[in-house]
Amino acid sequence: MIRPKGVLLGSVSIVVSFVIFVVPFLFVLVTAMKDRNEANLLQFSWPTRIVLWDNLVQVVQARDYQLVIAFVNSTTLTVCSVAILVILGAMVAFVLQRRPGRWTRIADFLVLAGLIVPPAVVPTIWALQKIGLFRTMTGLILIEVAFGISFTVLLFKAFIATIPRELDEAAALDGAGPIRMFFQVIFPVLRSVIVTVVVVQSVAVFNDFANPLYFLPGDENATVQLTLFNFSSQFTSQYNLLFTDILLITIPPLLMFLFFNRQIVAGQTSGAIKG
């Protein structure tokens, strides 16, 4: 029997979620459909004339198709960063979970510190300049990996704790070394949590605004988030094009969450119960 209190809490949760997530998206969509004069009013109202296609064309063609270049840059950044995070994070988590000792405690502390200690922009820029990676895609990829590795390791470590050690012992008896054991035995078992890491970190890297702004300046290096500057400045803003740009940028992460929602939940809860 369903309790009235449970129905009330469920209804309130649905309404709150709708207000927080759906209403802002609808506002972006409606504003992107308006012309410049009507969009500048910033009113949540249906447009008198729908010009969404014209806005899309202007956004894509702005500054010699900078948005297209930005999508290529963001895709390259996201794919490379997430690939390194998945492989490196899983390997580190495997060692920390299966090889406990004095040094692993220090490593665990450093992993937790990565979630707590705020990033220092100026020293990071200085370090990148010294090794010749400032204003390079390689340098920004390393920055994204450094900022995301702590969360990734903790997520993988919680899942690996649920994998029986007998699996490792059986692989060792068959003559598998550490590298072969990890990639042929352990890594395939991490499928659900890998999907979670890929989706969560891809959205985080793709939507990152501050790191590309600080560590990869330059119009030719622009990522999708930095294209918002094309339609908003100190003196004037084209809100119809700005919200159209936001709409285009929002679609890829939104589709990822819609398609992989179940896998994300499964990966985040898989390490909650050890057994």
Residue 266: per-residue pLDDT: 56
Question: Quick check: helix, strand or coil at residue 71?
Answer: helix
- Alpha carbon distance, N-terminus to C-terminus of the chain: 31
pTM of the predicted model, to two decimals? 0.86
Contact 33, 47 (CB under 8 A): yes
How many angstroms from the chain centroid is the CA of residue 261?
A: 14
Please, is 12 exposed, middle or buried when counting C-beta atoms within 10 Å of its C-beta (0-12, 13-18, 19+)?
exposed
CA distance readout (Å), 159 to 90, 155, 193, 269: 10, 7, 7, 9
DSSP state of 271: T
CA distance 252 to 185: 33
The pLDDT assigned to 258 comes to: 77
Q: Tell me how many helices (H) and strands (E) the chain has.
A: 14, 0
CA distance linking residue 217 with residue 143, whole number of Å: 14
Q: What is the SS3 assignment for 216?
A: coil
The predicted pLDDT at position 273 comes to: 43
Residues of the chain with pLDDT under 70: 1-6, 234-235, 261-275
CB burial of residue 238 (10 Å; 0-12, 13-18, 19+): buried
- Please name the residues in contact with 202: beta carbons below 8 A apart, sequence gap of 6 or more: 78, 82, 253, 256
- Quote the pLDDT of residue 223: 93
Q: How far apart are CA 112 and CA 116, in angstroms?
A: 7
- Which amino acid is located at 154 in the chain? L
What is the dihedral sign for C-alpha 213, 216, 220, 225?
Answer: negative
- What pLDDT score does 5 carry? 67
In whole angstroms, what is the distance from residue 67 CA to residue 224 CA? 6
The one-letter amino acid at 119: P
Q: How far is CA 206 from CA 113, 151, 198, 202, 236, in A?
A: 24, 17, 11, 6, 27
CATH code of the domain occupying 64-269: 1.10.3720.10
